[in-house]
């Protein structure tokens, strides 16, 4: 197998507005660490693939599709062999529209496309013969955030008994004098909270810096972190500490990694249609807007500017939903799923903010190890809660759709994504449990 790697800064200008926190009212005031686009080119036996990781909150489906097609055209490979994923940092530029925060920064996105295309070309041109090894090590950067409260219901808090990622999975691509580490771990990258106005890749970027100082090139993908919060918050210092802890686990995984020989490479992607959940009467939804949602902390809600943003986001959402329904109803959401066989291991890339249990279930169905299930891939489709979460409620089910999309996805969404992965895996010659 051959592999090539390149990285390019995609850091916006200081002063750019930041995506991810509706209660963050100020523009960026500085840079903690640069944001990066990291491109990994893989080639084996006539099969070629490109994996790109972006230090961004998300991309819209349209933007992601355009970028994937541009990359495929530049490199002469099928678009289904391009895997594009965001890390979901909450300290990056306005890469996707969120009601209450604003529109996507189109000037930034145009520059982003050119930079990513350059990184991809450099990765392809730098390819060299490599050996592949897979490793795993224990680590837990996050904690399940769906905390049950007395009397029923769920808030954003800590649920130590809930599902969370306790392993980092690492693919090491080695050649004489160099190595590229691809790792996947699931946690929301917001050690830098909304009261911090620094541009940052958060703990993922700090992990990469620690590994780069030890001579490794690095590509990281976030896992199914829809219900997993960063365990420790507190600004750049917390991000640095957690990043170093994650990096040390990656190095431990490399120490115990076992080589693949011969190495197989196969990649396939498919679009899937995901329906929305049944919509209540609009009058009922309008009444719910008067209820305090779970988007911000109580102390943040005391700020009149934050309350105004929340109110305007809710009103804009309801207006857009009403208009869409008047035009004939809500079409299904289209998402793109990718599956790659990398030696004995598997890489799955899902759209949206999937709950961790969905990734675990998918990994359990594929008869191979390790299975890396990444989320936030291709275009952003919102939260994808597990079916049990709908009766429990909480931000991901009851509030998040006010900021992106029209309504929450159907409880069947995880099964639709899982079934798509299974079909792709079988088409690639993989076996099931």
Q: Quick check: 292 pLDDT over 80?
A: no
- The three-class DSSP label of residue 67 is helix
**Residue 385 domain-assigned (yes or no):** yes
* Structural contact between residues 116 and 71, judged by C-beta atoms closer than 8 angstroms: yes
* Structural contact between residues 356 and 164, judged by C-beta atoms closer than 8 angstroms: yes
For residue 288, the model assigns a pLDDT of 87
**Residue 183 domain-assigned (yes or no):** yes
For residue 123, the model assigns a pLDDT of 98
Q: What is the largest CA-CA distance in the chain?
A: 66
- Tell the residue number behind the tokens 């990285």, with chain if given: 7
- How confident is the model over 397-415, as a mean pLDDT? 96
- How confident is the model over 189-215, as a mean pLDDT? 97
- Residue 101: is the preceding peptide bond cis (ω within 30°)? no
Which residue range is the domain that position 170 belongs to? 2-271+332-427
Task: Please report which confidence band the pLDDT of residue 297 belongs to, taking 50, 70 and 90 as the band edges.
Answer: confident
Angle at 62 between CA 57 and CA 64, to 5 degrees: 50
- Identify the burial level of 7 via C-beta atoms within 10 angstroms of its C-beta, where 0-12 means exposed, 13-18 middle and 19 or more buried: buried
- Tell the residue number behind the tokens 């590229």, with chain if given: 180
- Distance CA(311)–CA(316), nearest Å, equals 9
- The three-class DSSP label of residue 311 is helix
- Distance CA(341)–CA(197), nearest Å, equals 39
Residue of 406, 139, 428 lying closest to 282 (CA atoms): 406
- Distance CA(249)–CA(238), nearest Å, equals 17
Residue of 274, 208, 199 lying closest to 242 (CA atoms): 208
For residue 296, the model assigns a pLDDT of 85
Both tokens assigned to 201: 């890749």
- Identify the burial level of 299 via C-beta atoms within 10 angstroms of its C-beta, where 0-12 means exposed, 13-18 middle and 19 or more buried: exposed
- How confident is the model over 259-270, as a mean pLDDT? 92
Q: What is the DSSP letter of 102?
A: B
Q: Quick check: 239 pLDDT over 80?
A: yes
For residue 333, the model assigns a pLDDT of 96
- Tell the residue number behind the tokens 């090590």, with chain if given: 137
Task: Please report which confidence band the pLDDT of residue 85 belongs to, taking 50, 70 and 90 as the band edges.
Answer: very high
Angle at 290 between CA 289 and CA 291, to 5 degrees: 90
Q: pLDDT tens-digit profile of 153-174?
A: 999 999 999 999 999 999 999 9
b/e burial code for range 337-359 (CB count within 10 A of at least 16 → b): bbbbbbbbbbbbbbbbbbbbbbb
**Residue 367 domain-assigned (yes or no):** yes
**Residue 393 domain-assigned (yes or no):** yes
**Residue 299 domain-assigned (yes or no):** no
Q: What is the DSSP letter of 232?
A: -
**Mean pLDDT, the chain, as a whole number?**
96
Q: pLDDT tens-digit profile of 348-396?
A: 999 999 999 999 999 999 999 999 999 999 999 999 999 999 999 999 9
For residue 290, the model assigns a pLDDT of 79
- Tell the residue number behind the tokens 């780069």, with chain if given: 212
- Distance CA(106)–CA(220), nearest Å, equals 25
**Residue 313 domain-assigned (yes or no):** no
- Distance CA(20)–CA(96), nearest Å, equals 9
For residue 299, the model assigns a pLDDT of 86
b/e burial code for range 195-231 (CB count within 10 A of at least 16 → b): ebbbbbbbbbbbbbbbbeeeebbbbbbbbbbbbbbbb
- How confident is the model over 97-108, as a mean pLDDT? 97
Q: pLDDT tens-digit profile of 35-74?
A: 999 999 999 989 999 999 999 999 999 999 999 999 999 9
- How confident is the model over 312-319, as a mean pLDDT? 95
The region of weakest confidence among 148-152, 180-184, 298-302, 388-392 is 298-302
Query: Which residues of 262-368 form beta strands (DSSP E)?
Result: 265-274, 333-342, 345-349, 353-354
- What total of structural domains would you count in the chain? 1
Task: Please report which confidence band the pLDDT of residue 306 belongs to, taking 50, 70 and 90 as the band edges.
Answer: very high
**Residue 98 domain-assigned (yes or no):** yes
**Residue 276 domain-assigned (yes or no):** no
């Amino acid at each position: 197998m051959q592999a090539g790697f390149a990285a390019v800064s995609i850091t916006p200008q200081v002063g750019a507005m930041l995506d991810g926190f509706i209660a963050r009212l100020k523009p960026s005031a500085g840079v903690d660490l640069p944001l990066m686009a990291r491109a990994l080119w893989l080639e084996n036996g006539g099969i070629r693939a490109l994996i790109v990781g972006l230090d961004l909150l998300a991309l819209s489906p349209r933007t992601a599709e355009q970028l994937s097609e541009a990359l495929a055209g530049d490199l002469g490979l099928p678009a289904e062999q391009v895997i594009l994923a965001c890390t979901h940092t909450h300290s990056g530029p306005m890469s996707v529209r969120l009601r209450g925060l604003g529109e996507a920064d189109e000037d930034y996105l145009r520059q982003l496309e050119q930079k990513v295309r350059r990184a991809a070309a450099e990765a392809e041109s730098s390819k060299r013969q490599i050996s592949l090894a897979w490793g795993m090590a224990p680590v837990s950067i996050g904690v399940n955030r769906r905390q049950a409260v007395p009397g029923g219901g769920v808030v954003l808090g800590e649920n130590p008994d809930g599902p969370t990622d306790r392993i980092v999975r690492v693919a090491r691509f080695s050649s004489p004098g160099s190595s590229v580490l691809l790792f996947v771990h699931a946690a929301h990258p917001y050690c830098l909270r909304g009261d911090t106005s620094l541009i940052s890749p958060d703990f993922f970027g700090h992990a990469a810096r620690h590994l780069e100082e030890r001579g490794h090139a690095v590509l990281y993908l976030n896992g199914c972190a829809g219900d997993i919060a960063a365990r420790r918050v507190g600004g750049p210092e917390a991000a640095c500490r957690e990043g170093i802890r994650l990096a040390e686990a990656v190095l431990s995984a490399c120490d115990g990694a076992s080589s693949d020989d011969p190495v197989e490479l196969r990649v396939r992607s498919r679009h899937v249609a995901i329906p929305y959940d049944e919509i209540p009467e609009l009058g009922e939804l309008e009444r719910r807007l008067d209820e305090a949602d779970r988007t911000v902390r109580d102390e943040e809600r005391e700020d009149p500017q934050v309350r105004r943003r929340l109110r305007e986001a809710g009103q804009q959402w309801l207006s857009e939903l009403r208009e869409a329904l008047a035009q004939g109803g809500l079409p299904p959401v289209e998402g793109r799923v990718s599956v790659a066989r990398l030696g004995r291991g598997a890489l799955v890339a899902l759209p949206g903010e999937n709950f961790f249990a969905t990734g675990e279930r998918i990994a359990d169905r594929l008869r191979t190890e390790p299975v890396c299930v990444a989320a936030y891939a291709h275009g952003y489709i919102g939260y994808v809660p597990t079916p049990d979460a709908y009766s429990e409620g909480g931000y991901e089910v009851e509030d998040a759709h006010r900021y992106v999309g029209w309504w929450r996805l159907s409880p069947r969404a995880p099964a639709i994504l899982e079934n798509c992965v299974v079909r792709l895996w079988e088409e690639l010659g993989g076996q099931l449990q």
